Chains A and B, each alone.
Chain A
């Protein structure tokens, strides 16, 4: 069965009132990369996942999960 990555990134970002560009600015990536992660188009590296979790003050496991 195909596995896919699901993310709560948009929900957690919007809870803080940040735009994609503002979140990108905080972790040093483009708005485009934030957009692709939120839409499940792009699976980020461990480095980006850790940076996202840190800036959103959550864990990587809360931010990302594997769905079947």
Chain B
């Protein structure tokens, strides 16, 4: 018979899983980004689906970063997964994401004369830079904290 897992142990396992999964999500976002730039924003149904998938994934990642995820876990476990230490890591990650998004926006503004790009492409780059950098920072901080 297996022993019941305490909330702290369960939160620890889930936090480890989150720290492993988040960089993979960032990688998926980057892959989607390269597919978008390789095939353009065509009017074909497949292109629309691809763009829709990118929008949905970006929204989910943003929601995970701002809420901590694990929405269907019990309140005590969610409280442990979003305790003081995690909130500090999330704040640092969101700060990194904001700075990355701003820097990429400034870079695109400066580059607009040298490189022709659409508003949609610029938005793709800014959102991806912000989300991926925030995901990576959060994962690094969490892994360090988990020891």
Residues of A within 8 A of B (CB): 21-22, 24-25, 28-33, 35-37, 39, 41-42, 44-45, 48
Residues of B1-34 whose CB lies within 8 A of A? 6-9, 11-12, 15
Cβ of B88 under 8 Å from chain A: yes
Main secondary structure of the interface of B (DSSP, over half): helix
Whether A30 and B8, one on each chain, are in contact in the complex, defined by CB atoms closer than 8 angstroms, is yes
**Considering only CB atoms and an 8 Å cut-off, how many residues of chain B contact the other chain?**
20
Whether B80 and A29, one on each chain, are in contact in the complex, defined by CB atoms closer than 8 angstroms, is yes
Other-chain residue from B9, B144, B145 in contact with A33 (beta carbon distance below 8 A): B145
Whether B12 and A21, one on each chain, are in contact in the complex, defined by CB atoms closer than 8 angstroms, is yes
Main secondary structure of the interface of A (DSSP, over half): helix
Whether B7 and A32, one on each chain, are in contact in the complex, defined by CB atoms closer than 8 angstroms, is no
Contacts of A24 in B (CB 8 A): 8, 80
Could you list 25 examples of A-B contacts with CB < 8 Å?
Answer: A22-B8, A25-B6, A25-B7, A25-B8, A28-B79, A28-B80, A29-B80, A30-B11, A30-B85, A32-B142, A32-B145, A32-B146, A32-B147, A33-B83, A33-B86, A33-B145, A35-B145, A35-B146, A35-B147, A36-B85, A36-B145, A41-B145, A42-B88, A44-B84, A48-B84
